[in-house]
Structure formats: structure tokens, C-alpha cells
Amino acid sequence: MLQRIRKTLRREEGASAVEYGLLVAGIAVVVIAAVFVLGTVVKNSFTKVGSSISSAG
């Protein structure tokens, strides 16, 4: 019986919850970095457009 438990614990078929958690964490880091970078770009674009509109009027 002990050998059967050891075999079950040693099997490496598919990803575990920890591996999925690490994958999700990695994706989250990439998304957060993209939001910060693109957020700055979008903010600067709106600032330029707003300045152009107010100087034209």
C-alpha cells in the first residue's frame, strides 16, 4: 500500500494548481505593465488633443 501511495505522488501527468497559479501570475504582470505603459501614452495623447482644442478656441 505504501508503494502505491509513493507511485501516485511521483506521477507527473499534466500541470498542477501551482503551475497554473504561476502562469496566471505571469500573465497578470504582463497585463499590468502594458496598462501602465499604454496608460501613459493615452494620457499624453489626450493632453495634447485637449491643449490643441483649447488653443484653437
Question: In what helix (H) or strand (E) does residue 44 lie, and over which residues does it extend?
Answer: helix 17-56
Would you state the pLDDT for residue 46? Answer: 93
Would you state the pLDDT for residue 45? Answer: 93
CA distance linking residue 50 with residue 57, whole number of Å: 11
Torsion of CA 31, 36, 38, 20, to 10 degrees: 0
Would you state the pLDDT for residue 2? Answer: 76
Would you state the pLDDT for residue 57? Answer: 65
Would you state the pLDDT for residue 38? Answer: 92
Q: Which residues of the chain have pLDDT under 70?
A: 8-9, 11-15, 57
Would you state the pLDDT for residue 17? Answer: 85
